[in-house]
Amino acid sequence: MNNDLNQDSDRARKRVRDLVRDRDLVVGLDAGGTRTRAVLASAVDGRVLGQGVAGPGNALTVPVPLLTDHLAEAVAGAVPEADRARVVAVAGGFAGAAETAPDEPGRLNALAALTAALRRLGIAADSVGVSSDIEAAFASAPGAPADGLALVAGTGVVAMRIRDRRCAVTVGGDGWLLGDDGGGFWIGRSAVRAALRMADGRGGPTTLADAVGRALGVPSGALPYAEERLYVEERPHAEDLPYGGPAGLGGLDGEGGLGGAGGRDGVGSPSGAGGRDGVDGRDGLGSRDGVESPRSGGDGPNPAVGPVSADASASASVSASGASGPARGRLPAEPEWSPDRRAAYRMHLLPAVMAEPPIHLARLAPLVAEAARHEDAVARAILDEAADHLLEPVRALAPRQGERIVATGGLLGPEGPLTALLSERLKAFGLTLDWVADGCRGAVALARLGHGGPPPSSRTT
């Protein structure tokens, strides 16, 4: 009888523990170059219970007081005041943060700002963790993997080997001036170069000359197809185009993305460890920043890509594709482009390019994707070369056959222009891509692990 009483008592205590445990909450943060997103989730199964969004969260480029404000705003939006005492763990993936050294500036800034934001909100979590945005993005893959490769292809390009959920090796991510070959900036610059080569006779005909000229405000009379253009009955809206229209591949904040791997942020190089400013993979053609990821919603027009109106975007896409809507107008392969009009084209195009920061050329990347979709040979060659470039950092990490590659950034999303091209190349190595939109799910998984909860399942959202 005593044994029965003891067993009943044990069962009762277990039920109490389970009830308490079921009330435990965790917070995951994805802090990129253009926005900060917070997610409230159950510590037991990772079910999402609330979300909040605020301003930029790059730990190197946003001053700590402002970063604290943005983190507090995002967390406050995700966690109702009545539930804040139930938060037991918080984890954040930050653009510009890494653990390359104990005194790494981005990580220290992120930890200081996050600690202050939680204190302001009265959240006394037992576990508070900081990682790079790329590490959080990697953990967002199904099963929250601990080891493998991460590839960010947004405005810039960076690859990482992840061991025990931390970056062990970084390849690329050197910014638009020195690297990032195959990324959004590189593709946009290639489009302008192809247009200029057509104008001076060094290159063959391409609808990119027309599309790029229209996107950059070249007068219609100087465009190569101005006289031959057949008008179409409908012009597409920018939001109806693949990747969200010419001004940005979709809109993940790359976030576009996921901000980048390795701590580089922005529009030029992924945000992540290392602290260089540039792409935002999480933020980036993808967010991570810069050109954002496909059909992700985003926060509206991306400030990193320059002032391109919806009408201008639609017009540029008509130019790139040579067709639109139910009525399709076809552009001649060999336009009658007189020397005077060619000279006028260059005279207007070059100053327009030079007037803006070079990284803004990333906004032209979707024009190449659209032109390639309509079988423009020059555009297709650009994307083929871009895919070859993306393969290089992966090969440099000496992948093992069957090893997991987690990808983020608009160029490699479900509708990304390089997804199929790179996937085909990876087959030779026995590799496949897992694409993730951002690092929120991974941050939640890391918070649950920090709390000592069960290993995150692939059902975590």
The DSSP secondary structure of 35-48, one letter per residue, reads -EEEEEEETTT--E
Q: What token pair was written down for 451?
A: 């709390």
Which token pair is 67?
């970063």
* pLDDT per residue as tens digits for the range 76-92: 999 999 999 999 999 99
Separation of alpha carbons 376 and 259, rounded Å: 31
A 10 A CB-CB count for 210 gives 30
Greatest Cα pair distance, the chain, in angstroms, is: 104
pLDDT of residue 385 exceeding 90, the answer is yes
Rounded-to-integer distance, Cα 314 and Cα 251, Å: 17
CA 283 to mean position of chain CA atoms = 4
Q: Give the model's pLDDT for residue 226.
A: 63
Report which of 17, 69, 417 is spatially closest to residue 242, judged by C-alpha positions.
417
> Mind listing the pLDDT tens digit for each residue in 371-381?
999 999 999 99
Report the range of poorest mean pLDDT among 23-37, 84-98, 222-236. 222-236
Phi, psi of 166 (to 5 degrees): -130, 150
pLDDT band of residue 187 (cuts 50, 70, 90) is very high
**What pLDDT is attached to residue 264?**
36
Structural contact between residues 134 and 270, judged by C-beta atoms closer than 8 angstroms: yes
Q: Give the tens place of pLDDT for each residue, 239-273.
A: 333 333 333 343 333 333 333 333 333 333 333 33
Burial 32-52 (b: 16+ CB within 10 A, else e): bbbbbbbbbbbbbebebebeb
Give burial (CB, 10 Å; 0-12/13-18/19+) of 339.
exposed
pLDDT at residue 422, rounded to an integer: 95
User: Which range has the worst mean pLDDT, 2-16, 127-141, 304-318?
Assistant: 304-318
For residue 80, which of 50, 100, 120, 109 has the smallest C-alpha distance? 50
pLDDT confidence bin for 191, thresholds 50/70/90: very high
Does residue 213 carry a pLDDT above 90? yes
CA dihedral 161, 166, 171, 175 (to 10 degrees): 150
- Which phi and psi (to 5°) does residue 370 adopt? -70, -40
Amino acid identity for residue 436 in this structure:
V
Residue 457 has pLDDT above 90, yes or no: no
> Please, what is the average pLDDT of the chain?
76
Please compute the mean of the pLDDT values over residues 23-39 and round it to a whole number.
Answer: 91
pLDDT number for residue 173: 83
The per-residue pLDDT for 237 is 36
- Strand-pair partners of 158: 152, 172
**Helical residues (DSSP H) of 39-132, grouped into ranges:** 64-78, 105-121
- CB atoms inside a 10 Å sphere around CB 53: 16
Three-state secondary structure string covering 394-436: HHHCCCCCCCEEEEECHHHCCCCCCHHHHHHHHHHHCCEEEEC
Tens digit of each residue's pLDDT (9 = 90 or more) over 289-332: 333 333 333 333 333 333 333 333 333 333 333 333 333 344 54
Give the CA distances from residue 12 to residues 16, 19, 149, 239, 341, in Å, rounded to whole numbers and listed in that order: 6, 11, 45, 56, 86
Q: What's the whole-number mean pLDDT along residues 131-158? A: 89
Rounding to the nearest 10 degrees, give the CA dihedral for residues 418, 423, 426, 430: 170
What would the mean pLDDT of 335-354 be, rounded to a whole number?
92
DSSP 2-26: HHHHHHHHHHHHHHHHHHHHHT-EE
pLDDT bucket at 55, cuts 50 / 70 / 90: very high
Residue (of 132, 126, 125, 124) closest to 105 by Cα position: 132
Q: Is the pLDDT of residue 343 over 70?
A: yes
Cα 205 from Cα 202, distance rounded (Å): 10
- pLDDT at residue 261 in the model: 35
Q: Is pLDDT at 67 greater than 90 in this prediction?
A: yes
